[in-house]
A = this chain, B = another copy of it.
Amino acid sequence: VTPPRSERGAYHHGDLANALTKAATDLARTGGPEAVVLREAARQVGVSPTAAYRHFAGHGELIDAVKQYALTRLAAAMEIELAAAPAVPDRAEDAYRRLAALGLGYVRFAFSEPGLFRTAFCRSEKPPEAAGITAADTRPYQFLSEVLDDLVAVGALDEVRREHAELVVWSTVHGLAVLLLEGPLRQLPEEAREAVVARAIAFVRDGLTVPRTMQS
């Protein structure tokens, strides 16, 4: 069965590396990391499996490329959400607003692209920081750090609570996405899900806020 490779017999594809990554990404989008299969990606591009080895060391490198892409998409989703809500004058209030936006972007991405989300966090052969940048170098992570710093500057967050706050906040949001998406809580009706998400975001705010003598 001759695959329907585009038009005039292009023996040299010209951009095979990208085409394969794209195909692999589509597989991941549909079926998660398990669905990223080198042979299938080649099949979809209309190329022999061997050809992939001109551009990737093997399956591991291919899936790492997808992973990288998925992480980029997640970051983009967060940044979009960040830019969506208008800034508010009060500095503390604006920090909370940005915090909520980052969290919302995270879980919304998880739900709109479950396959990519799962791929972004799937185990890969090589250790995480060898795979590329470490999480802390990532833009959303830095935005989160900034938000936390702002909360400190404004007096809403004390130094003890500031410590490791990135990871703790991340954990809440990540755990929420995982439990709702693939954990024992999938199948939760959509409205309940959204209520939980809203509650979780408020919970994060409360957990970071240092007790005050008077509640505003």
Contacts and interface: CB of A to CB of B under 8 A. Distances in A.
A179 B203 contact: no
A172 B172 contact: yes
How many identical chains are in the complex?
2
A158 to B, nearest CB: 11
Contacts of A167: 176, 179, 185, 196, 199-200
Interface string A167-190: 110111111101100111111000
Interface residues of A, number: 44
Interface stretch (A35-43, A50-58, A85-93, A205-213): A205-213
Contacts of A174: 175, 178-179, 183
A154 to B, nearest CB: 16
B183 A175 contact: no
Contacts of A128: 184, 186-187
Contact of A199 (B164, B176, B184, B185): B164
Contacts of A1: none
A79 B81 CA distance: 40
B212 A135 contact: no
A167 B179 CA distance: 9
Interface string A38-68: 0000000000000000000000000000000
B208 A127 contact: no
Nearest to A205: B207
A13 interface: no
Contacts of A127: 187
A134 interface: yes
Contacts of A129: 187
A167 to B, nearest CB: 5
Contacts of A182: 121, 123
Nearest to A188: B167
Interface string A8-33: 00000000000000000000000000
A165 B206 CA distance: 13
Contacts of A213: 213-215
A215 B206 contact: no
